[in-house]
Amino acid sequence: MNRVTAADYVEWATGMLTDGHDSPNLRMLAGLDERGSVFEAEEHFSRALRELQISEPDESGKLRAYACDLAQQILDGTLAAEAGVKALYEVCLATDYARPFMIWLYLDDALDSIRAGVYPHTYETATAGNYNDIVKVEAQKFIEILRGQGV
């Protein structure tokens, strides 16, 4: 499964600063090398959360937030639909097939079927021609579901 990188932490910190938040570790995190140590970035991230009085999410919350970010990247066009589905499928596995994540299992299986030239039983309306559009629609729905759960 894809893991959070130093670049993810730096991007988060930069966005927080842009939104008007500020703390010493937030500034340090925003200034780190995106290709640097994820361990150093995590330490500054944890400190920045404490300084900003933001509760650190539990593991389940981290997975949901990561999944929302992947879905948003699909919508923004910065992550290809197929790669996004594969990454979200991996998150589905990590959540032990939690209900909101099952769509990514179905879409991953549908893509395998389409590539094999067989009927996609797990997502019957999927075709090679509309797959990317379906993924974007499902990404939007997924984000709405998870945000409704407080992500």
Dihedral sign, CA of 127, 145, 147, 44? Answer: negative
> Which pLDDT score is estimated for 61?
82
> Which pLDDT score is estimated for 113?
97
Report how far residue 35's alpha carbon sits from residue 14's, in angstroms, rounded to the nearest whole number.
15
Looking at the chain, the whole-number percentage of residues with pLDDT higher than 70 is 97
> Which three-class secondary structure state does DSSP give residue 28?
helix
Spell out the domain ranges in the chain. Answer: 6-51, 59-148
How crowded is the C-beta side of 137, counted as CA atoms within 13 Å? 8
Spans of the chain, pLDDT less than 50: 1-2
> Which pLDDT score is estimated for 36?
92
> Which pLDDT score is estimated for 1?
47
> Which pLDDT score is estimated for 148?
81
> Which pLDDT score is estimated for 45?
93
Report how far residue 63's alpha carbon sits from residue 41's, in angstroms, rounded to the nearest whole number.
18
> Which pLDDT score is estimated for 75?
96
Dihedral sign, CA of 57, 59, 62, 64? Answer: negative
